[in-house]
Amino acid sequence: MSKPLIDVPGAVAAAFLFCTLPLSCKDQAKESAARAAHDVADLATLVDKDVGEIERGLPDGAKRLAPLVANGADPKQDVAGVRKSLLRMRRDVIDLNIAKSTFFALADSNGLAIRNDLEEDVMAGQNLLSLFPALAKAKDGYVTTTGTFPNASTKSGPDRDWIAALPLKREDGSAGALLVTGWTYRYFARHLQESLKDRLADRAKATGEEGKIPVFYVAVFDKSGVYSAPLTPQIDEVALQAQDLVAKTDSGACQATLTITDRAFGYAAQRIPKLAPDTGIVVLRSEL
């Protein structure tokens, strides 16, 4: 389990208590929780769509990259060509062009990263199978997994990665290389938060309440911790970590209220099986 991002003994215990302010505060928090439940359900559908883009796009991408391993070719002998091929693949495969991936990379059949599509490649030379053991199954077909790249901590705290891969097949059907892609939890949380921001703005405009947007945050969670979008106050992330969201979503989506620094919040959380087992998203919000 990830350690709390800040030290919050004593005083924060009170901050995490359910709302004990007047009835109006309790009602507001319950309303926020109910609305967060609708938000998280909408975002769960979006996550399925985002993962679906990878599921559909990678097979087409692998076919387009197959010449890199055809007739015994060794992609390691033309690293610059690998990057150009990855960039062309992402541009030409519609699902991959709109995918939320932060990188596309090629690794050899043993999982040694050859090159990614980024201008600065800090992945090359890393053994991806040692970092993400489940990728060993990618020699046989599409696989997804989660884990952590070295030095994955950000200004917002520790981060985690969602990874997908499948093989580039040689003429004899063997895996000549692995096509790998993915995103970090915090980057993905930001994508979801921006999407929710747009939805809330559209709803406010439709009801004649432009500018009346609640305070809200989105995070991805699993057994290792809670990973919120950048710029989320650390005390809010710590408060969500204290809720044990994996346990609370064991039998389905959950919602509840809490108080953080004297402000009433409601949250809703839901598992997203398409991401990974015991993994989900949470929306924390407070009405104005």
Query: For residues 102 and 92, is the Cβ–Cβ distance under 8 A?
Result: no
* 175 shares its domain with 232: no
* 37 shares its domain with 87: no
Higher-confidence residue: 205 or 283? 283
Total of domains in the chain: 2
* 200 shares its domain with 233: yes
DSSP assignment letter at 249: T
Classify the C-alpha dihedral 151-156-157-158 as positive or negative.
negative
pLDDT at residue number 9: 39
What residues does 143 pair with on adjacent strands? 165
Of 158, 184, 210, the domain-final residue: 184
Task: Give the span between the Cα atoms of 65 and 88, in whole angstroms.
Answer: 10
What residues does 218 pair with on adjacent strands? 283
| pLDDT 10s digits, 1-50 | 343 343 433 333 333 443 344 446 568 899 999 999 999 999 999 999 99
| pLDDT 10s digits, 83-131 | 999 999 999 999 999 999 999 999 999 999 999 999 999 899 999 999 9
* 191 shares its domain with 228: yes
**Does a structural domain hold residue 261?**
yes
* 170 shares its domain with 87: yes
Strand-by-strand arrangement of the 113-116 sheet: 113-116, 103-108, 175-184, 161-169, 143-147
pLDDT at residue number 212: 84
| C-alpha distances out from residue 5 to 33, 183, 215, 230, 274, Å | 24, 21, 21, 13, 27
* 21 shares its domain with 88: no
| pLDDT 10s digits, 51-71 | 999 999 999 999 999 999 999
The domain that contains 238 carries what CATH number? 3.30.450
Could you tell me the residue range of the domain that residue 19 belongs to?
11-46+187-286
Tell me the Cα Rg of the chain: 21
